[in-house]
Structure 1
């Protein structure tokens, strides 16, 4: 934790209660706390969320 900076990925790896837990630590994108790979996992485009929301609403009807 002490080795993380504004330029290192803060994606957790493993269980925080188990020895060996760590953060990714790869270089981050300019505007993200995560590297490119983990940013893609963390942030879902709005269009995908909207489509999922519409599908859910259609099922309820």
Structure 2
């Protein structure tokens, strides 16, 4: 199952369904040139995605964010 990191509902559902007790978000640049040309895609994937995971974890009381 693939969920976009900016999908707040999908992330919240995933976290509440699996009852995780720890989350690690390790963003990486697979294609640097793409992100140089499209900096908003980088922001969505890494920055907004991280905040979505963090908020989702807090929502379902996941620890160690």
Considering Cα pairs closer than 8 Å and 6+ residues apart, tell me whether 1 or 2 has the greater RCO: 2
Larger helix fraction of residues: 2
Is TM more than 0.5 here?
no
TM-score of the aligned structures, taking structure 2 as reference length = 0.25
Larger strand fraction of residues: 1
TM-score of the aligned structures, taking structure 1 as reference length = 0.26
